[in-house]
Amino acid sequence: MSLNFDFSSWPPALTKVQLDTLTLYATTYALSHGLLYLPPAEHQPTIPSAAIHAPISLFPSPFPRQLFEQGRRIQRTYNLLYARIAMDEEFLDRIMGAEEGVGKVDNFIGQLWTGWKQLRDKGLAQPLHLGLFRSDFLLHAPPAKPVCIKQVEFNTISVSFGSLSQKTAELHRYLLASTNYYDTSPYLTRDRFPVNDTISGLASGLAASHKAYDVAGSHVLFVVQPGERNVFDQRLLEYELLEKYSIHIIRQTFDELAHSASVDSSTSVLRISCSEDLHPSGSIEISTVYYRSGYMPHEYPTPGHYTTRFLLEGSKAIKCPTIALQLAGGKKVQEVLTQPGMIERFLADEKKYGTVILSREEIDELRQSFMAMWGLDVSEDMLTPDASAASSGSGQEEFGVRKARDAALSLVLKPQREGGGNNVYKDAIPSFLDSLPPQDRQAWIAMELIKTPENTGNYLVRAGATDLHSQTPVKSDVVSELGIFGWALFGEPTQRVEEREVGWLLRTKGKDSNEGGVATGFSVLDSLLLVD
């Protein structure tokens, strides 16, 4: 699409007095409204005694209105696509399994798949899956071509910052209302600041799962990391569930669950033991297991941690996500979906899905959001229309690696990991390829880099100074990543998918930073200024 907006004109110029005042207004608003983190510490206290505001931008960042609406629209298609992938056991076994897929060379993926396969062989107690999703996009502005959106990745586990993204949008609307941003830009009008109701949207997905379980007095279990700094993002969902739906939450780590969780051998009901001082029966039945952890290998330091995960997976409680849905979010799946005919397998198979199939226009719009990508193990014939999925064979490693080496300066290499800080970029790629054992190539994909608009800036504010006035914003050239949230509740035997698009997130980072995680310190929380 063509745009009248000049990205290089952003942000508007501010005087020092204006900048200092906006910073004070923004940081005090954040501290007053729960836009918070726990401060860095080697060990977080059981009862926090202090908090800092989350990293934020002072201005919202410009984003084309039509492309924002497109991202929201295709989220519904992505919800359906990943729900159907999670229900396709044959596909996941082939692409992610430990016998012929990524799990052969990636021990973490292999452990999860093996445990899931053993549970499937015994018979899963709960056919329903719940997914809270986030699809991440960047603006793509190739030379002499219209600006469009391209997907970075699709997240299926521990999808974060839904709550704080809403708070950040409210922060920027407050700054507009209180200062009008000192009339520094005609674009800063209320109709360009979209409302974001992600807290209620994500909570509605958890509430739908709880309702489907339908046992009075049951709770939702949040599986959390020890010493979680991003606890306020999670607590806001907890409060929404209690206040709007009267649903109670219990929070436990894997270490705690190793001692507290049990599954009834006859009913498969998951119960969490607790003090009778806290609950009269001494145990709580769980309707939904919501993972805000469990996505990285270091979270399973012992075999016992996998045992706990599989105990929960084998229970009657609805999991968000199931292991199947976590595997579906793998980068290898993202790469395989770009191969000819793969989207149609899940979205246009009339024999399998009856009338619940998508039109050619809907599928094309989804496909247009893909960047080119391939597996390091892929063969040249895998990229032709008569191929169907990645497989192993002689010569494939040579082709995939050679193609990545030749195009290294325009690529990123991605493993099957979430959470930021795992990728390899540009000129670091050749030496990495030299060091990568051939047997490990199946676990990596190569993806063409998205070319974001040049010379867009913003003021970035990070906490940590001793007083508010010394938290000087840093004006930087930036890149902004749009995340669209959705949820899906689905499962056998009907393969019916109930799904929603439920809000958005904008994360902004310095132009020179390759990684994009807020929790890992690369990005700040931002919101949208819709431009035409």
**How far is Cα 524 from Cα 521, in angstroms, rounded to an integer?**
8
Is 212 annotated in some ligand binding site? no
Q: Catalytic: 153?
A: yes
**How far is Cα 397 from Cα 408, in angstroms, rounded to an integer?**
16
Catalytic residue among 103, 153, 162, 163: 153
Is 425 annotated in some ligand binding site? yes
Question: 15: which residues sit within 8 A by CB, 6+ positions away?
Answer: none
Catalytic residue among 319, 331, 345, 441: 331
Is 174 annotated in some ligand binding site? no
Catalytic residue among 365, 419, 462, 510: 419
Strand locations in 449-473 (E): 457-461
Is 249 annotated in some ligand binding site? no
Is 527 annotated in some ligand binding site? no
| Residue-wise DSSP of 361-381 | HHHHHHHTTPPPEEETT--GG
Number of Cβ within 10 Å of residue 452's Cβ equals 18
Is 331 annotated in some ligand binding site? yes
Q: Catalytic: 335?
A: no
Name 400's bridge partners. none
3-class DSSP state of 454: coil
**How far is Cα 162 from Cα 386, in angstroms, rounded to an integer?**
40
Is 418 annotated in some ligand binding site? yes
Q: Which helix (H) or strand (E) holds 488?
A: strand 474-491
Q: Catalytic: 414?
A: yes
Per-residue tokens: 304: 């016992």
Q: Catalytic: 155?
A: yes
**How far is Cα 341 from Cα 339, in angstroms, rounded to an integer?**
6
Is 134 annotated in some ligand binding site? yes
Q: Catalytic: 451?
A: no
Question: Taking the C-alpha atoms of 116, 120, 125 and 126 in order, what is their torsion angle to the nearest 10 degrees?
Answer: 70
Is 419 annotated in some ligand binding site? yes
Is 365 annotated in some ligand binding site? no
Name 375's bridge partners. 445
Catalytic residue among 72, 84, 150, 507: 507
Is 228 annotated in some ligand binding site? yes
Name 221's bridge partners. 250, 289
Q: Catalytic: 134?
A: yes
Catalytic residue among 57, 61, 135, 160: 160
Is 157 annotated in some ligand binding site? yes
| Residue-wise DSSP of 167-184 | HHHHHHHHHHHHHGGGG-
Is 481 annotated in some ligand binding site? yes
Is 162 annotated in some ligand binding site? no
Is 524 annotated in some ligand binding site? no
Is 110 annotated in some ligand binding site? no
Is 352 annotated in some ligand binding site? no
Q: Catalytic: 503?
A: no
| Residue-wise DSSP of 286-347 | EEEEEESS--SGGG--SHHHHHHHHHHHTSSSEEET-HHHHHHTSHHHHHHHTSTTHHHHHH
Is 462 annotated in some ligand binding site? no
Q: Catalytic: 160?
A: yes
Is 2 annotated in some ligand binding site? no
Is 509 annotated in some ligand binding site? yes
Catalytic residue among 72, 104, 134, 150: 134
Is 420 annotated in some ligand binding site? yes
Catalytic residue among 57, 61, 135, 155: 155
Number of Cβ within 10 Å of residue 527's Cβ equals 27
8 Å CB contact between 488 and 159: no
Tokens 């490990």 belong to: 440
Is 286 annotated in some ligand binding site? no
Catalytic residue among 84, 167, 319, 414: 414
Q: Catalytic: 8?
A: no
Catalytic residue among 170, 418, 499, 501: 418
Query: Half-sphere exposure of 181 toward its Cβ, with a 13 Å CA cutoff?
Result: 18
Q: Would you list which residues are annotated within the binding site for ATP?
A: 153, 331, 414-423, 425, 447-450, 481, 509, 515
Q: Would you list which residues are annotated within the binding site for substrate?
A: 134, 157-160, 228-230, 234, 292-295, 507, 518-519
Catalytic positions: 134, 153, 155, 160, 331, 414, 418-419, 507
Q: Would you list which residues are annotated within the binding site?
A: 134, 153, 155, 157-160, 228-230, 234, 292-295, 331, 414-423, 425, 447-450, 481, 507, 509, 515, 518-519
Q: Would you list which residues are annotated within the binding site for Mg(2+)?
A: 153, 155, 418
